[in-house]
Structure 1
Amino acid sequence: MVVFREHTLTGHSNKVMAARFMGNSGGAGKVVSGSQDRTLKIWDLRSRSCAMTIFAGSVCNDVVATDWLATGIISGHFDKKIRFWDARHQKNAVSEVEFQGKITSLSLSKDLKYLLACVRDDSLKLLDLQMNQVLDSYSADGFHVSCDWCRAAMSPDCSLVAAGSSDGCVYVWNVSSGRLEKVLREHGTSVIACTWQPGGNFLASCDKNKRIVLWSPV
């Protein structure tokens, strides 16, 4: 189930792994969700109902909306594929890209041009959505993606990418050079999620013991 304020949107038959607003700041009144039931669902928040179900073919670990018109969707899956969808044509993916590991998370740049994927082969992949190709890959000795739903993040200015590791560290790479910039040590167990403050000056990370660490400056 997906909960919106006091309203419950019911339809998924298994765990909901991700939900995102569609359209400009959610102005379209729609949310897309991805689930372990192998479907994506588009929800109409005005009618509080499911407007569309997309059968994705594999467990969905993360999903993002890719345009201001609330038509483009990208989903990351257990079967090692990223799928691209047009919400106006729900039956088949427009295209897909396959990697060497399960896709655990997706992070979209503010200008909607770049996509960061966290892959279970212990790497992050940066995709150019206009060219539909991988621009760079980020990895390091000691970095191991901690779980199937590990969340990596791209900084608001697209200069840095960050991801937590099973060794309790947060790894930060420089996007343009591909170089590992920092290894942040504070957590005592696997780090499962990272997110940037909108201004880009702070990074927050969360571990399996429910501890959140705020890093500044990064």
Structure 2
Amino acid sequence: MLILKDIHEGLNFSAADDESSFGIFSIKFSKDGHELVVGNSNESICIYDLGANKVTERIHAHVADVNAVTFADESSDVLYSGSDDSLCKVWDRRCHKSAKPVGVLAGHLDGVTFIDSRGDGHYFISNCKDQTIKLWDIRKLSSATKDCTPKAYEWDYRWMTYPSEARFLKHSYDQSLATFRGHSVLRTLIRCYFSPMHSTGQRYIYTGSSDQCVYIYDVATGNVVETLKWHESIVRDCSWHPHLPTLVSSSWDGYLVRWEATEDDDDPTTLNKGKQKMCPEGYTFTL
């Protein structure tokens, strides 16, 4: 029997004069746990103060759905956002004109599905419907929006395959540091992340994929160092344990799978020398 001990109230993100409904695509806690940042389908970013129980900032951030938002570091002063307009933007809440981004990062050719910050206030990565992950340094941002390279194709990622003629198109003003290719982003907003600092020194980038795999890239070389395959449908999300060599993936096939890296020496946190074996709880990977 389910017993309710607390009364749970919904958090209202709508504006007083907003007569239309909207969907929330991305939500993150600030590092101190006092605020939430939200990206939504009405092209805006909202900051919600949990103590005051209200939206304290509302920014019209993009010209399309805001699919991804996150805080840059522990200070919670800087935000990153990514949108279906193909742009990543940087917002500094210390600026008096916080309704305008402090910079724009162009390079993607389609909608951004997810953003993960390295946590150092400088670097972040973005996953995109153009079938790439890009690495960014906000010290290289521009103050103006650059027009995208015109599309030579029409497609809808929710039900079509990515056009082969578009796979190696390049943005005329690509500001990214590196581009990672191999995984696929179709049908849903697939996530990507930096690997943990404790066990890997954030040496890797990992992502789900619509081809049923988890991909792990080397940040320095851009190479795929491991492809984890077991699922039978899209892998939308995955999470690497902050201290242990363990990764969990979730899929549209209805399964959660635990992957573990094992090695011959006595240090269980290092992922450089692995020996692959199958565990009862899941499946292992080597790096």
TM-score (norm 2): 0.68
Residues 1:135 and 2:177 aligned together: yes
For residue 8 of structure 1, what is the aligned residue in structure 2?
10
Residue 190 in structure 1 maps to residue 216 in structure 2: no
Contact residue 146 and residue 164 of structure 1 kept, 8 A: no
One-letter amino acid matched to 1:136: A
Equivalent AA in structure 1 for residue 105 of structure 2: V
Structure 2 counterpart of 1:214, from 258, 266, 276: 258
1:86 to 72, 83, 92: 92
Letter matched to residue 54 of structure 1: I
Structure 1 position 30 matched with structure 2 position 35: yes
Please report how far the alpha carbon of residue 182 of structure 1 lies from its aligned counterpart in structure 2 after TM superposition: 0.9
In the TM superposition, what is the alpha-carbon distance from 1:91 to its structure 2 partner?
2.0
Measured on the aligned residues, the alpha-carbon RMSD in Å equals 1.9
Q: How far, CA to CA, are the matches of 1:104 and 1:18 in structure 2?
A: 9
- Quickly say closer, same or farther: Cα 1:128–1:206, change in 2 above 3 A: same
Three-state SS of the structure 2 residue aligned to 1:150 is coil
Q: Which residue of 1 aligns with 2:44?
A: 39
Residue among 74, 93, 97 paired with 2:105:
97
How far apart are residue 148 of structure 1 and its match? 4.4
Aligned match of 2:207 in 163, 186, 190? Answer: 163
Q: C-alpha distance in 2, partners of 1:110/1:19?
A: 17
CA distance in 1, matches of 2:74, 2:238: 25
Q: How many residues align?
A: 209
**Is residue 2:127 matched to residue 1:115?**
no
Q: Distance in 2 between matches of 1:64 and 1:200?
A: 24
TM-score (norm 1): 0.88
C-alpha distance in structure 1 between counterparts of 2:181 and 2:203, whole Å: 16
The SS at the match of 2:32 is: helix
2:119 and 2:87 map into 1 onto residues whose CA distance is 23
Distance 2:54 2:26 in 1: 17
Partner of 1:203: 247
State the shift of 1:210 in Å: 3.1
1:126-150 deviations in Å (ceiling 9; x for gaps)? 112334452211112xx31133411
**Max Rg structure:** 2
Q: Distance between the aligned counterparts of 1:215 and 1:179, measured in 2? A: 20
Conserved 8 A contact 1:18-1:62: yes
Secondary structure class of the residue paired with 2:222: coil
Q: Percent identity?
A: 25
What does the per-residue CA deviation read over 1:17-52, in whole Å, with 9 as the maximum and x for residues that have no partner? 111122x432xx211111112111111111111111
- SS for the counterpart of 2:139 is coil
Most deviating of 62-71 and 186-195: 62-71
Query: Which deviations, in whole Å up to 9, do the C-alpha atoms of 1:156-185 show, x marking residues without a partner?
Result: 122111112221111111111211101111
Distance 1:151 1:67 in 2: 19
Cα deviation 1:96-140 (Å, max 9, x = unaligned): 122112100011113333201101111111112334452211112
Deviates more, 1:70-79 or 1:202-211: 202-211
Structure 2 residues without counterparts, runs of 5 or longer: 1-6, 15-20, 142-174, 262-284
Alpha-carbon offset, residue 10 of structure 1: 0.7
Q: CA 1:200 to 1:127, structure 2 compared with 1: closer, same or farther past 3 Å?
A: farther
